[in-house]
Each structure stands twice: as structure tokens, then as C-alpha cells.
Structure 1
Amino acid sequence: MAALLLAGCGGGDGDSKAKDKIAGADTGETASASPSASASSSSGRPKITFPSGVKNVFEDTKSGDATKDAVLADSALSVNSVDEAIFKGSTSTEALGFYNAGKALSSSITYVQGYIDDGDTWVGETRYFDRKVTLSGAKEAYVTYCSDESKSFIKVKKTGKVKNTPTTADSYVLYHTTLAQNAAGVWQTTNVVSNRGAKECQP
């Protein structure tokens, strides 16, 4: 469930699941000094784990083009890395800095910290669909996609209470992301902009 942006709180309503799941989007941040991405020195990629009761489902994983498929795969891992940080209650997870860089990383950290400060996490399932890739040169790409948060909900860690909010147009979010391939060959998300309630993503 990405919301800041990747998601602060989408509508300012503490009882809303509209905490966009992708940290950083819509914050308008221009952080002059972004946290540096601590990519693993080895070729191994960090393992991302979710607790039971939560799931991100990514559609449109195959485009027929190997490069675009690699971009889509790392884009999904970027989303998952932010959610893993929320579940672990930490902004220093290995995956967060591995799959995100620049503005996307700094906004993701701010987003995750918002969940930590509020004592929240989320449960349920978020679906990502209509994912499209546009390549720009050899090492830059743009990915747009929609998210369906109608089946994911904010959960208060201390009490275990789940805030079951009704599905509205704001349960659907349009994302525009920029990715850059680093020296290790990882397509890192470097910028994210979201539009909650976008008509393009409505069912």
C-alpha cells in the first residue's frame, strides 16, 4: 500500500487507507541532498519479505522485450521495498536503498517514517495494473501504472485495529515513475509522482 508521494497521508484523514503506498509522491520535495543508495557490493539482491496477511499483486509483468521486462521487475521490487520498510518499522532496510535512489529514496524514507511515527502498518492486498514502460536511451526508463487499494487497509500496530474504510475513487492511484540503471545493472526508481483518484485508473 504505497501512499506518500510512493506513497504522507493521501487525504489527511487518519482513518483513511489513502496513505499512498509509494513514499514520496505528491510531496513536492526537492531535497537538495538525497540519501545515498547503498547498493549491495555483491551481485546478490536483498531478499524482500512480507508478513502474513499482506500481498502486492503486479499485473503486466511481461512486455515481450527483455529490457522492459527487467524495468518492470525492478519497478515492482521498488514498491515492495517501501512496503517491507513499513512492515519492519525501519527506514534503513537494505532493499529500500537498493531499489530506490535520489528523490524517490528520500521521499520513500519520509513516507515510511510517517507510518512509523503514527504506529501504523497495513494489511490486505494491493493490485498494480496497466503497467507500461517507455525506454529513454540505454539507462533510463519511465513506468506508469495504477494501483487498486480497495482491498488494503491501515492497521494500528499497538491495538491491531484495522481501519476498514469504504472504497471510493481515491482507492485508485495513478503513478508516473522514472527509473535509471545503475552500475550494478539495477533499475532504481529515482522519482515518483502520483495522482490519487485519477480517472484513468477507475474500474
Structure 2
Amino acid sequence: MNRRPALLAAAALTAAAALSLSACGGSDGDSKDNEKIAGADQGAEKKESPSPKASDDGIDRPEIKLPKDVDNVFEGAKTGDPKKDAVLADNERWLDALIEATVVVDAKDHPALKFYGSGDALLSAADYIQGFRKKDSSFIGSIRYYDRQVTFLKDGVAAVSYCQDGTKTYPKDLKSGKVNRSIPESEADYGFYNTRVRKNAKGVWQTESVTYVKEAVKKCM
């Protein structure tokens, strides 16, 4: 059984990276997977994602809602640099949108995912989500993101790196509704990711690629 989100994400993102020349389960990487993100019925009660709050930048942003038993926790949201903070805020929204599309399976569509992601990032997201769908599984709990760094490149492009801790999440079988809390913590519960983001015409820092860096995972533990 899939341990936690970090392990499945690593498998999906590694597969996507190979396909773009740049766990368990996942699709064959066909771009049609981007249209399969909304899945079957779960019916979990939802709540508004706590972070980040609505912005005052004039951008009409789609609403993101997560179930009450799922939470993304972001550390280091304020760097003191408004430009970096804006990048991190949209990185948070991308991750919230990804988790929403993964665990809220009774929705017909998840507009926030395509609003905050593009290209290879959407491909890896489809693999990630379909990995859960194919096993009729989901998860509950809290995912922590920390050691978040922004590096500006050129032409409206930046790199965002971060650690992910999934030790406080637990697999859930969608058919039975049972949650498995008995699996012990392991290195597979952690992940280190490098993402490439680009500022689009709307002023949104869209995530366009995500790379799982296995060699750097230990720094996150």
C-alpha cells in the first residue's frame, strides 16, 4: 500500500521528468491525464485552504478548498523580500491546488490546478493523482513544507526548492473509508523538490516543472 503522499509524489515526478527529458502507480504519462484529474465520489466535508489568504493584487483567483482532515502547512512564507514572497505565495497555492485535486474527488473540475500549473507540472500532477485513483485511495493528515528557497533566474523565471514532510499523513481506503495509522515513519516520508516557475500574463507565478531530488532527501530529515 502507498505509504504517504511523499512516496507517491516521488514516483510520479520521477516518471514525468524522464518523459520530458529534463510511489507507485501513476499513468502512462499521456497528456490526456490532465483531463482525468477530477475523479470518483468521496464526499468529504471541505474547508477553505488556510494558506495563503486572498491576495490584494487584483488577480481573480479560483477558490481552493481542502477537507477538514487534510492540511498543508507552509513554513517561511515571509522572507522580507516582496518579490520572493509573491513567488512563495503562488507556490503554496499550487501545492494546495494539487492536494485539493487529489483528495477532493467528487468535484467535476479543479480549476486552480491549471491556474497555478502548466506544462510538465500538470503532467506530473496527473500521474500523482491517477496513482491514488487507480488504487481507490486517498489520505488524511498534515503535510509540512519547509526550507523553502527562491532563486530568480531570467525572463520572468524563478526556481523554488523545498522540503516536504509527510509523516503526519495516513493512507485512506476510499471504498471502506478506513485509515491506516499503523505504518511506521521512514525516509520515504520525506522529499526534496526543485520547481521551475514562470510569471504569466496575469501576474501569476505558474509552476511549470517539478523535480524530485532523491540525493537531497536526507537534508530534509
Question: Mean alpha-carbon deviation: is it higher for 19-28 or for 44-53?
Answer: 19-28
Displacement of 1:64 in angstroms is: 1.1
Q: Structure 1 residues 88, 96: closer, same or farther in 2, change over 3 A? A: same
Structure 2 unaligned runs (5+)? 21-28, 36-57
Instruction: Find the partner of 1:183 among 201, 206, 209.
Output: 201
2: CA distance, partners of 1:85 / 1:91: 10
| TM-superposition CA deviations, 1:105-125 (whole Å, max 9, x none) | 111112112212211111011
Kept in 1, the 8 Å contact 2:7–2:189? The answer is no
3-state SS, counterpart of residue 145 of structure 2 = strand
Q: Percent identity?
A: 36
Instruction: Find the partner of 1:168 among 177, 186, 195.
Output: 186
Tell me if 1:150 matches 2:167: yes
Residue 25 of structure 1 corresponds to which residue in structure 2? Answer: 13
1: CA distance, partners of 2:87 / 2:165: 21
Kept in 1, the 8 Å contact 2:148–2:162? The answer is yes
| TM-superposition CA deviations, 1:109-167 (whole Å, max 9, x none) | 12112212211111011110000000112510101100111101111111111122211
Residues paired across the two proteins, number? 184
Q: TM-score, normalised by structure 1?
A: 0.82
Displacement of 1:87 in angstroms is: 1.6
2: CA distance, partners of 1:100 / 1:146: 19
Aligned pairs (5 A) from 1:44-123: 44-89=60-105, 92-123=109-140
Kept in 2, the 8 Å contact 1:25–1:193? The answer is yes
Q: Structure 1 residues 91, 154: closer, same or farther in 2, change over 3 A? A: farther
2: CA distance, partners of 1:22 / 1:48: 24
The structure that is helix-richer by fraction is 2
2: CA distance, partners of 1:96 / 1:194: 19
Kept in 1, the 8 Å contact 2:10–2:191? The answer is no
How much is the aligned-residue C-alpha RMSD, in angstroms? 2.4
